[in-house]
Structure 1
């Protein structure tokens, strides 16, 4: 069931700046201030969230960030939550990875207790705001919000500050052949190419066309033209096949009528494929069956 809206679509700042109530005790105020302002934690006590939407990290970009951290430190605290004997990263895994590369021993963190849905939403928002997710990771994250937390598409769109159409179009990419999805992840295809390929229903054909796009360096416009051409050819082939079927149907009905005139009973021709089929002759009494058999014997002689 969808939880109460929490302003997640406004960005991460609105999530990590809770106000202290007037009746809060001194101890609670101190703990709240510490959580909001950030504390330093041993980097080995902090671990990534295995369910976070992002799966791929650019090594070169991480090295650049690591060099920056060596010079200036981590400028923005990680958002974490307490687990059994460690702190799980909710937002900031890229900074954590770069800090490890830089040999940093302690990292600044803000500690929060969050629901699974809030963790998922925050991770998604952070990565979308920084454009860190590839299109397939983003689509999978939207799918998780829909399936695991029973949100509707317009609710997901509101939480991540996207239009409902943008969320819908993103999730459509998951209908692509898995090999084509991997090509999008590997940046062999753009989202524009991928959306055009959705016009091809046959999964294997999708992949073959995707390879052609990559090999021949086709633009999105060229890809759209190619897909339209394939769709037109498919329709023409279907129309031709339908017309051929109609002609065959007419021929079979005529043959049925001719055989019916010979045997004086209903006859059906049923086609299995282009070369095979069967002929069914109805009879309604033993005498009629004997008559039909005698006719066959006469023909055989």
Structure 2
């Protein structure tokens, strides 16, 4: 019950307060670096085992290490006390690069954060990184909404992004994992991937896009052509001599909007001219089922 109440109201500190802690990125304002609370031995600092980001580009780490060798760590890491040492809240890349650079001490700012706040800050920091791929970004938005009860509007305001950007990015999670991997590996752009969301067989089309080095516009044409061909095959004559109608463009657009808002696949079955129909929401985990229940019971 206590967990449910916390998820409904969000964290007591509020997203804005946590954002103030996260805005210590090296690219935030290098001309005015924040003053550290302490210089601590690097061996006393450990990574957060629940850090949602697992991949760190080795080339980028080498570049950052070279910069640190020359200029030092410009922006301090944000940490919390953990036993006799410190656990990283934000700044793990700088910590890893500092190790590569052979530093013995690093600057830190100490914050008193609980486990939930640490996870939230880590997700926000990852979302704000310039080198984050679109699928990781989408996963971060969904985590913030499902774990902490934030809305798209609240995220847009706090992160300085448009609501449509957040909604369109979250739609990428509707794609099969293999297509998401193509985006993560840089084989497909976010624009290519968004074009494939409505496709009946996005995996096959994604492979055609990659092999043919197609532009986003060409990808849209490919999806449209495949959709028209599929409609022709599915339009079979019924016993009454009538053809099965495809969903209208308005219905598909409504499905996309609802799916983007929920972060889950939504299907709307509605016949043109009718007043009734059905909405089907597909969830992949019990956490997503819990999120559906929360939205339906709170209306947020």
- The TM-score by the shorter chain falls in which range? 0.5 to 0.7
Matched, 1:7 2:16: yes
Equivalent runs, 1:112-151 vs 2, <5 Å? 112-151=111-150
The residue that corresponds to 1:262 in the other structure is none
1:83-133: CA deviation from partner (whole Å, max 9, x where unpaired): 234322111111111111111121111010124454344334433434132
Deviates more, 1:154-163 or 1:192-201: 154-163
Q: Check the 8 A contact 2:22/2:90 in 1, yes or no.
A: no
Q: 1:9 to 1:160 in 2, by over 3 A?
A: farther
Q: 1:208 to 1:50 in 2, by over 3 A?
A: farther
The residue that corresponds to 1:279 in the other structure is none
Give the aligned length: 226
Q: Check the 8 A contact 2:174/2:197 in 1, yes or no.
A: yes
The structure in which a higher percent of residues are helix is 1
The residue that corresponds to 1:208 in the other structure is 204
Q: Distance in 1 between matches of 2:172 and 2:153?
A: 18
**Alpha-carbon offset, residue 134 of structure 1:** 1.2
SS of equivalent to 2:168: helix
Q: 1:238 to 1:112 in 2, by over 3 A?
A: same
Q: Distance in 2 between matches of 1:55 and 1:99?
A: 18
Deviation above 4 Å: which 4+ runs of structure 1?
Answer: 8-16, 244-249
Q: 1:248 to 1:39 in 2, by over 3 A?
A: closer
The residue that corresponds to 1:221 in the other structure is 217
1:169-197: CA deviation from partner (whole Å, max 9, x where unpaired): 11111111101111111111100011001
Q: 1:221 to 1:163 in 2, by over 3 A?
A: same
Q: Which has the larger radius of gyration?
A: 1
Q: Check the 8 A contact 2:79/2:109 in 1, yes or no.
A: yes
Q: Distance in 1 between matches of 2:231 and 2:94?
A: 52
Q: Check the 8 A contact 1:7/1:15 in 2, yes or no.
A: no
1:122-167: CA deviation from partner (whole Å, max 9, x where unpaired): 3344334341321111111111111111222222222222222221
The residue that corresponds to 1:60 in the other structure is 59
User: Which 5+ residue runs of structure 2 have no aligned equivalent?
Assistant: 1-7, 26-33, 244-300
Q: Distance in 1 between matches of 2:23 and 2:141?
A: 21
Equivalent runs, 1:11-22 vs 2, <5 Å? 12=21
User: Which 5+ residue runs of structure 1 have no aligned equivalent?
Assistant: 17-34, 250-301
Name the TM-score, length of structure 1 as normaliser.
Answer: 0.68
**Alpha-carbon offset, residue 233 of structure 1:** 1.1
Name the TM-score, length of structure 2 as normaliser.
Answer: 0.68
Q: Check the 8 A contact 1:196/1:223 in 2, yes or no.
A: yes
SS of equivalent to 1:37: coil
Q: 1:142 to 1:6 in 2, by over 3 A?
A: closer
Equivalent runs, 1:147-162 vs 2, <5 Å? 147-162=146-161
